[in-house]
Amino acid sequence: MKKALITGITGQDGSYLAELLLEKGYKVYGLRRRTATPNFENIKHLENEIEFISGDLRDLTSLTEAVKATKPDEVYNLAAQSFVGDSWRQPIYTSEVTGLGVTNILEAIRLSKRDARFYQASSSEMFGKVVETPQKETTPFYPRSPYGVAKVYGHWITVNYRESYDMYACSGILFNHESPRRGIEFVTRKVTDAVTKIKLGLQDKLHLGNLDAKRDWGFAGDYVEAMWLMLQQEEPDDYVIATGETHTVKELVEIAFQHVGLNYQDYVVQDPQFVRPAEVDILLGDPSKAKHKLGWESKVSFEDLVKMMVDSDLAKNKGQ
């Protein structure tokens, strides 16, 4: 039986990846940091199938112990301070977790189980102020936030460990991917939650920042399959994972409100507090390498993704 260690198990991607690996017959270990109250919402349904290991990405001792105890065949490093907006408010913390944390987990593997295959959750935020469109594996990075800068560090240290120690280490450059399990502060979920609360008479207005930003949004359930595929190849490599389509925040808002029979112009307020110090204006990925080499393609359309999230939040906010 193959064994996988997932960091970030309680997050959106950790929960979908754990489902996928359990379906494939893996023994799944999840690295979980201590919290005062449980934050199990995304993995409650898997609680008895995953073995949890206590640890923090900033604490090399805990990571080394986790790798020693589990002897994983595959390690998926999904843990991060992943909210771009907060990375300006907590730049040092973000660097420590999202950047240096990658070296900690790579060191734990190098010292304790060097043949474990490693996946690093890199991000399209590394392209930032994009120098070409669409963005592909060879597009130079120009990060625009402390989060983006930390991810560039995590990306290159992964490449460096592959080249220095001959480790099987891959970096997936994933574009935005969403789901009903998305954190509430990200724009998709903020919108779908608010739309349904407005529909139910529980909220009056929706305050947003830049409506013109463009993102390449896909479904998280599709994207975790690409992570797994990257670790099943003969040689480790880096891949862009994206839909190949881009949409504005305004389009997202229009579809979400329309789906419950409302006009967004009656409810959306532009609010400077949600405008970022530096913006990533457009992200549009070219997933052709992933299609050609991994046989991977995004399946859920943008419109269906938004509707799926609205339907889920409607049920949640009705208390169902």
- Which residues of the chain form contacts with ligand NAP (CB under 6 A)? 7-14, 33, 35, 39, 56-58, 78-82, 97, 121, 123, 174, 176-177, 183
Name which of residues 208 to 227 contact ligand G4F (CB under 6 A): 208-210, 213, 215
Our CB check for ligand NAP shows the closer of 80 and 198 to be 80
Cα 63 off chain centre by: 21
Q: Give alpha helix (H) positions in the chain.
A: 12-23, 60-70, 84-89, 91-94, 101-112, 146-165, 187-199, 220-230, 249-259, 288-289, 302-317
Among 279, 291, 303, 308, binds ligand G4F (CB under 6 A): 279
> With CB cut-offs between 5 and 8 Å by kind, which of ligand G4F, ligand NAP, none does residue 13 bind?
ligand NAP
Return d(Cα 159, Cα 106) in angstroms, integer.
11
Return d(Cα 99, Cα 80) in angstroms, integer.
8
Q: Is 161 a catalytic residue?
A: no
What single-letter amino acid sits at 310?
A: V
Return d(Cα 216, Cα 214) in angstroms, integer.
7
> With CB cut-offs between 5 and 8 Å by kind, which of ligand G4F, ligand NAP, none does residue 249 bind?
ligand G4F
> With CB cut-offs between 5 and 8 Å by kind, which of ligand G4F, ligand NAP, none does residue 283 bind?
ligand G4F
Return d(Cα 60, Cα 7) in angstroms, integer.
13
Name which of residues 85 to 104 contact ligand G4F (CB under 6 A): 85
Note the residue count of the chain.
320
Q: Is 147 a catalytic residue?
A: yes
> With CB cut-offs between 5 and 8 Å by kind, which of ligand G4F, ligand NAP, none does residue 97 bind?
ligand NAP
Structure tokens at 122: 């890199």
> With CB cut-offs between 5 and 8 Å by kind, which of ligand NAP, ligand G4F, none does residue 215 bind?
ligand G4F
Our CB check for ligand G4F shows the closer of 66 and 220 to be 220
Contact status: 312 vs ligand G4F (CB under 6 A) = no
Q: Is 23 a catalytic residue?
A: no
274 CB burial (10 A radius; 0-12, 13-18, 19+): middle
Per-residue x/- track, 118-137, ligand G4F (CB under 6 A): -----xxx------------
Return d(Cα 126, Cα 107) in angstroms, integer.
23
Among 66, 105, 187, 224, binds ligand G4F (CB under 6 A): 187
Q: Return phi, psi of residue 206, to 5°.
A: -120, 115
Looking at the DSSP bridge assignments, the partners of residue 7 are 31, 77
Q: Return phi, psi of residue 69, to 5°.
A: -70, -35
Q: Using an 8 Å Cβ cutoff, are 70 and 53 in contact?
A: yes
Contact status: 255 vs ligand G4F (CB under 6 A) = no
Our CB check for ligand NAP shows the closer of 14 and 236 to be 14
What separation in angstroms does the CA of 126 have from each of 21, 63, 81, 111? 28, 26, 15, 28
Contact status: 276 vs ligand G4F (CB under 6 A) = yes
Contact status: 84 vs ligand G4F (CB under 6 A) = yes
Contact status: 43 vs ligand G4F (CB under 6 A) = no
Instruction: Give the shortest CB-229-to-ligand NAP separation in angstroms.
Output: 16
> With CB cut-offs between 5 and 8 Å by kind, which of ligand NAP, ligand G4F, none does residue 185 bind?
ligand G4F
Which residues lie near ligand G4F (CB under 6 A)? Answer: 82, 84-85, 123-125, 175-176, 185-187, 190, 208-210, 213, 215, 249, 274, 276, 279-280, 283
Active site residues: 123, 125, 147
